Amino acid sequence: MNSAFRKAAVKVVTVALGAVLSAGVVAPAVAGPHLLVDIKTGKVMEHEDAFQKWYPASLTKLMTAYVAFRQIKAGKLALSTPIVMSKLAASEPPSKIGLKPGQALTLDDALKVLLVKSANDVAYAIAENIGGTEPNFVTMMNAEARRLGMSATNFVNPNGLPQPGQYTTARDLAVLVLAIKREFPEHAGYFSLEGVQVGKAKYSNYNKLIARFDGADGMKTGYICASGYNQVSTATRNGRAVISVVLGSDSLAGRTVQSADLLQKGLTDGPGFSDPSIYKLKPYGATRDQVADQTEIICKKNGKRKKVRSESTDEVGDNKTSPYMREITRPLEFAQITVIPADNDSAEAQAAEAEQVAEASPLVIYGRKVRDIPIPLPRPIN
């Protein structure tokens, strides 16, 4: 078992965010936390910096999906419910599928796009259609986090785009994944899709364990400069089921290999029954109340932006491989997504309403406008 503490051995940097986060300070860059949990027992099999606050990036969308699942179970929504795109939702930065205001997806298709393509516009649209407004939906997200016991998590948007005040921990993410797996087994298929197809565009799952690691069946990845490469993974094999959480890896390949290694250990080693459950693991870590920021390591060097990286491309970790993964020798399977055409009247009404909202004062959190934590830029086309 790893020790409860890991030294912040990565180069300590001062990141001038100019914002007061949860504890008033932004933590220096910290080597990425990780966690391994047995799903059936909830026992922690391995952990390091499990309580260090971290930017979730698109792992946020796990809670967005969880809130939707809860609404379906309560009878307030159906998988056939249309998720209509507003002008505000359509204006969200990439990753996105680019629906126009008034166009719609069924909730079923929206969830597929949310969890495979990690579409920020679709996440925002789900929030508006379920909560009435994005802020209302975020309130629902935080209420669910409190109810589940995610004591070191706070959400300020439904998609994980950079924004002060949005943070979580490896421990809290494991608690959320346990809730999804245990409460909604009927929705497990959303997390194991190999890809989605919208029109002629095909999008493969950012989770590279799917169809490549024996037993991999979910869940979600995420990346912004401030978080590094995050991944929550699940796998089931020979009656065993485990969760791995990897935060702050330096590359797409790096997080994939680390996740594969953890899952393999969890599926083949002893179940760790001597260790505490995820619910009884006691908080630790000298910097746990500060949000670690990886921007200087991931996207900058000496104050200058390094070679641009995004979640879908990885020139840093291309040479990293895992003996537990195999190549796919067949075409990927893509779930077909149907775009519902816009109703002209409703689309115009939504656009007019969005214009009114856009004219209002910008949202300010802790003295700063939203989305001022660096996000990776798209790679230039050679």
CATH assignment at residue 132: 3.40.710.10
pLDDT at residue 232, rounded to an integer? 98
User: ∠ CA 351-354-359 to the nearest 5 degrees?
Assistant: 130
* Complete DSSP assignment for 190-212: GGG--EEEETTEEEE-S-TTTTT
Output the pLDDT for position 301: 63
Q: Please return the burial class of 339, using the count of CB atoms within 10 Å of its CB with bins 0-12, 13-18 and 19+.
A: middle
Tell me which of 274 and 287 has the higher pLDDT: 287
Model confidence band, residue 13 (pLDDT cutoffs 50, 70, 90): very low
> Is residue 33 domain-resident?
yes
With a cut of 80, say whether residue 168 has pLDDT above it. yes
Number of structural domains the chain divides into: 1
Residue 171 counted as domain residue: yes
In a domain, 365, yes or no: no
Cis amide prior to 22 (ω within 30 degrees): no
Q: Tell whether 363 is covered by a domain.
A: no
Task: Let me know if residue 361 belongs to a domain.
Answer: no
Closest CA to 119 of 176, 61, 63, 79: 61
Catalytic residues: 58, 61, 118
Query: Residue 67: which pLDDT band, with cuts at 50, 70 and 90?
Result: very high
15 assigned to some structural domain:
no
Q: Which residues contact 206 (CB under 8 A, 6 or more apart)?
A: 116, 118, 221, 252, 311, 312
Domain that holds residue 321: 26-352
Assigned domain for 176 exists: yes
Helices (H), the chain: 60-73, 87-90, 107-116, 120-131, 134-148, 170-183, 252-268, 295-298, 344-359
139 within some domain: yes
Measured CA to CA, the distance from residue 349 to residue 337 in angstroms comes to: 25
Give the model's pLDDT for residue 146.
Answer: 98
pLDDT digits (tens, 9 = 90+) for 245-278: 999 999 999 999 999 999 999 999 865 556 789 9
Q: What is the mean pLDDT of residues 342-355?
A: 58
Instruction: Give the pLDDT of residue 273.
Output: 56
